[in-house]
Amino acid sequence: MSAGSTVHTPIEVPLARSPYQVIVGPGLIRDCGARIAEILKPSRCALVTDSNVGPLHAEAVEASLRQAGFEPIRITVPAGESSKSFEQAAKICDAMIAAGLDRSSMLVALGGGVVGDLAGFAAAIYYRGIPCIQIPTTIVAQVDSSVGGKTGINAPGGKNLIGAFHQPRLVIADTDTLRTLPPREFHEGFAEIIKHAAIRDPQMLAADDSLDNIAPLIARNVAIKAAIVAEDEFETKGLRALLNFGHTIGHGIENAAGYGRLLHGEAISLGLVAACRLSVEKSGLPQAAADQILAALARHHLPQILPDNISTDSILAALRKDKKFHAGAIRFVLLRALGDAFVSDSVTAVDIEQAIEALR
Ligand code: NAD
Ligand code: GLY
């Protein structure tokens, strides 16, 4: 391992069948090949990235993989949410077939949540599942999407409707990669951090979030996510569902806006505002606590006002197709207090419509 990189203690994701580690720190991609070789035999492998991240970070990853004995082929998908599609998943699989990759191969996903979800899905279905290494390069991906094994693509009817649980074998979160994020993409990531703060760790609302000292904050978020995933890997016990705080309305907005108009974290910011309002109305969250969440969103320039040209009807139509609508009823995550989230059945369609209107 190269000298001088500060690697924080690896965070364990202690799943019974497929435990793995998340490593967080600056400069990690320079050594990623050696770290992967500690757990997987060197082989031909796919490095899946997108058209923004590839030119910035793929060469460093490839060099390290080659040094460790892997033979990577690079597969680049267009940047953006619309790549979470069957078409792109098929292109990745076709490229792996053409390169002769088989069940002894592995796939490395280098990019944000879009690449992680899409490439993770390709790894889940290729030869009925090959090992996947996640190298997340956005804040959303480092604190949330690369950990927990949810992979998937979107359908015209809704986000993430097609997918598979496929846990990564290792997650390498190199915080130096965040330095190349444009400001808007940097700030959007804080929506998921603020979500974790709201449901589990309110002190994090005031944590140091400067880029120069971001590794401890990323690690703290990974630990929250890892603990929840370890207890409820397949979201059957009601615990993992708490991670959907702000996501029911947020996903509806993201879908209704048309993928690409709002970044994921921006849509989730609007969903968090609506969920805070509903928590004040339905579960007694003190307004002062909701205001702390809104202030944190504002500090990160995250939107709290819905763009006029996204109609309430289109959001409601998208919501009706959401996975979180359980047998036609709505299972909505609310807060009783900061750090105290629960799944409620008491939020009605009318409540949701009013909460969306209140975002205008
Ligand atoms: P993204 O992957 O689209 O990345 C945002 C933008 O930043 C893209 O243009 C990308 O090319 C660019 N980018 C990424 N890393 C960069 C870097 N280091 N430097 C410069 N540019 C870079 O979006 P995201 O916000 O990372 O992820 C959102 C996706 O994640 C959504 O599809 C969402 O559904 C999914 N998600 C999944 C989970 C899960 O548990 N699987 C959890 C949260 C979010
Ligand atoms: N991002 C929600 C989950 O992983 O369950």
List beta partners, residue 21: 12, 170
Angle 53-56-60 (CA atoms, 0-180°, nearest 5)?
110
Q: Which string of b and e fits 126-142 if b means at least 16 CB within 10 Å? A: beeebbbbbbbbbbbbb
Which pLDDT does position 2 carry in this prediction?
Answer: 46
End-to-end CA distance of the chain: 51
CATH of domain 3-194: 3.40.50.1970
Q: Out of 2-16, 37-51, 140-154, 221-235, which region has the weakest mean confidence (pLDDT)?
A: 2-16
- Pick left, alpha or beta for residue 132 (phi over 0 → left; psi -120 to 50 → alpha; otherwise beta): beta
Domain boundaries, the chain: 3-194, 245-357
Task: Identify the residue whose C-alpha is closest to ligand 1 atom 28.
Answer: 113
What number of CA atoms fall less than 13 Å from residue 321's CA on the CB side? 18
User: For 133-155, how does the pLDDT look when each residue is reduced to its tens digit (9 = 90+)?
Assistant: 999 999 999 999 999 999 999 98
Distance in Å, CA 177 to ligand 2 centroid: 22
Contact at 8 Å (CB) between 90 and 162? Answer: no
Pocket of ligand 2 (CB under 6 A): 144, 148, 150, 240, 243
Chain segment 72-111, per-residue pLDDT in tens: 999 999 999 999 999 999 999 999 999 999 999 999 999 9
Atom 3, ligand 2: residue with shortest CA distance = 243
pLDDT in tens, 277-312: 999 999 999 999 999 999 999 999 999 999 999 999
As a whole-number percent, the residues of the chain with pLDDT over 90 amount to: 88
Q: Rounded to the nearest whole angstrom, what is the distance from the C-alpha of residue 114 to the centroid of ligand 1?
A: 5
Taking the C-alpha atoms of residue 224 and residue 172, their distance in angstroms, rounded to an integer, is 17
- How confident is the model over 12-32, as a mean pLDDT? 97
> Is 80 exceeded by the pLDDT of residue 321?
no
Among 26, 130, 40, 122, residue whose Cα is nearest residue 77: 122
301 labelled catalytic: no
Give the three-state DSSP class for 149: coil
> How far is it, in rounded angstroms, from Cα 163 to Cα 149?
10
Per-position b or e across 149-181, b if 16+ CB within 10 A of its CB: bbbbbbeeebbbebbeebbbbbbbbbbbbbeeb
pLDDT of 323 reads 65
Does the Cβ of 139 fall within 6 Å of ligand 1?
no
Our answer to whether residue 240 is catalytic in this structure is: yes
Q: What percent of the chain has pLDDT over 70?
A: 96
Which has the higher per-residue pLDDT, 240 or 158? 240
SS3 204: helix
* Topology (CATH level 3) of domain 245-357: Dehydroquinate synthase-like, alpha domain (1.20.1090)
Burial class of 292 by CB neighbour count within 10 A (0 to 12, 13 to 18, 19+):
middle
Quick one: CA torsion of 201, 206, 210, 214, rounded to 10 degrees? -20
Q: What pTM does this model have?
A: 0.95
Nearest Cα to Cα of residue 210 among 171, 175, 184: 175
Of 272 and 208, the one with more pLDDT:
272
Tell me the pLDDT of the chain averaged across its residues: 94
pLDDT at 219 over 80: yes
pLDDT digits (tens, 9 = 90+) for 185-198: 999 999 999 999 99
